[in-house]
C-alpha cells in the first residue's frame, strides 16, 4: 500500500496522454450466477469441474483501445513477443509517434530476456508500476465493461464466447477510434451480422454432424 501511495504521489503531473497501458483478462464459461426464482422452486445451474476459458490481451491509451488478441491456454514469452511486435508497436507508432511510454504487468513472460531486449529496442520509455497493483491501470475499466456485456449474452460454448468477446472488443475499437479512419473496419451492425451468421452456421454444422453420426 505504501509503495502505491508513493508511486501515485510521484506521478501526479505525469503526461498520461502518452502512456500505453496493457493487460490480459480471462473469460470463462459456466460461471456461477445469482438470480431470483419463484417461491418453492430452485435455480438449477450446470456446473463443471473445469470451466473452459479464453484469454484476452489488450492495450489502451488516451485515444482508446489500440489493439487486442484473443487466445486459448497460457501466454508464454514467444506469444507475448509476437503480440508486441505485430499488435502493439505498429499501431502505437502510427498514433503516438516515438513519444510514448509502455506499461505492462510483472508476469513471468513479460520478464523474459528476449521480451526485455525487444522492449529496450522498440519502446522509447517504460512506465514501471508497483507489483500487484491492477487498480493503478485504467484498463481495468475496459475489462469490467466488456465482461458485463459478454456475460449478459450468456454464451453456451467456446465459439459463442469468442464471438461475444470479439463483438464487444470490435465495438469498443470502432467507437473509441471513430475519428481515426481505418481500412476494413466494420461498423457495430456489420460485426453483429457477421457474428450472427457464424453462430448460426456453427449450430447448423453441429446438427448435420449429429444426423450423420446417427445414420452411421
Which one is predicted more confidently, 191 or 100? 100
Residues 10, 112, 63, 95, CA torsion sign: positive
Specify the DSSP class assigned to residue 134. Answer: G
Q: Is residue 104 part of a domain?
A: yes
| Chain mean pLDDT for the chain | 79
Rounded to the nearest 5°, which phi and psi values hold at 59?
-130, 135
Q: Report whether pLDDT(116) > 90.
A: yes
Which residue do the cell numbers 473445469 mark? 50
Residue of 118, 115, 112, 142 lying closest to 23 (CA atoms): 142
Cell representation of residue 118: 525487444
Q: Is residue 7 part of a domain?
A: no
Rounded to whole angstroms, how far apart are CA atoms 6 and 15? 17
Cell representation of residue 200: 448460426
Q: Is residue 35 part of a domain?
A: no
pTM: 0.71
Task: State the average pLDDT over residues 155-179.
Answer: 78
Confidence of residue 112 (pLDDT cuts 50, 70, 90): very high
Domain count, the chain: 1
Q: Is residue 25 part of a domain?
A: yes
Which residue do the cell numbers 504487468 mark? 105
Rounded to whole angstroms, how far apart are CA atoms 166 and 169? 5
Confidence of residue 209 (pLDDT cuts 50, 70, 90): confident
The reported pLDDT for the residue numbered 43 is: 64
Task: State the average pLDDT over residues 10-37.
Answer: 82
Which one is predicted more confidently, 39 or 180? 39
State pLDDT tens for residues 170-201: 887 654 444 444 444 444 445 455 555 666 67
Task: State the average pLDDT over residues 59-72.
Answer: 89
Instruction: Tell me how long the chain is.
Output: 216
The reported pLDDT for the residue numbered 180 is: 43
Question: Which helix (H) or strand (E) element contains residue 186?
Answer: none
Residue of 195, 186, 197, 137 lying closest to 165 (CA atoms): 195
Residues of the domain holding 165: 14-29+48-215
Q: Is residue 74 part of a domain?
A: yes
Q: Is residue 4 part of a domain?
A: no
Q: Report whether pLDDT(57) > 90.
A: yes
Confidence of residue 47 (pLDDT cuts 50, 70, 90): low
Confidence of residue 59 (pLDDT cuts 50, 70, 90): very high
CATH code of the domain containing 151: 3.30.420.10
Check: CB of residue 33 under 8 Å from CB of residue 65: no
The reported pLDDT for the residue numbered 174 is: 54
Q: Is residue 59 part of a domain?
A: yes
Q: Report whether pLDDT(40) > 90.
A: no
Amino acid at each position: 500500500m505504501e509503495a502505491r501511495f508513493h508511486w501515485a504521489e510521484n506521478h501526479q503531473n505525469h503526461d498520461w496522454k502518452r502512456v500505453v497501458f496493457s493487460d490480459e483478462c480471462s473469460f470463462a464459461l459456466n460461471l456461477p450466477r445469482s438470480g431470483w426464482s419463484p417461491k418453492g422452486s430452485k435455480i438449477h445451474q450446470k456446473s463443471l469441474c473445469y470451466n473452459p476459458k479464453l484469454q484476452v490481451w489488450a492495450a489502451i491509451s488516451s485515444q482508446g483501445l489500440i489493439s487486442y488478441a484473443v487466445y486459448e491456454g497460457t501466454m508464454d514469452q514467444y506469444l507475448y513477443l509476437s503480440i508486441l511486435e505485430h499488435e502493439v508497436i505498429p499501431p502505437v507508432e502510427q498514433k503516438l509517434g516515438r513519444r510514448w511510454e509502455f506499461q505492462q504487468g510483472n508476469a513471468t513472460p513479460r520478464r523474459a530476456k528476449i521480451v526485455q531486449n525487444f522492449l529496450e529496442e522498440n519502446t522509447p520509455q517504460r512506465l514501471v508500476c508497483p507489483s500487484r497493483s491492477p487498480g493503478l491501470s485504467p484498463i481495468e475499466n475496459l475489462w469490467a465493461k466488456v465482461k458485463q456485456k459478454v456475460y449478459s449474452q450468456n454464451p453456451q460454448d467456446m465459439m459463442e464466447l469468442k464471438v461475444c468477446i470479439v463483438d464487444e472488443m470490435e465495438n469498443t475499437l470502432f467507437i473509441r477510434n471513430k475519428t481515426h479512419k481505418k481500412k476494413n473496419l466494420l461498423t457495430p451492425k456489420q460485426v453483429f451480422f457477421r457474428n450472427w451468421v457464424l453462430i448460426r452456421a456453427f449450430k447448423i454444422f453441429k446438427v448435420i454432424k449429429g444426423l450423420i453420426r446417427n445414420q452411421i
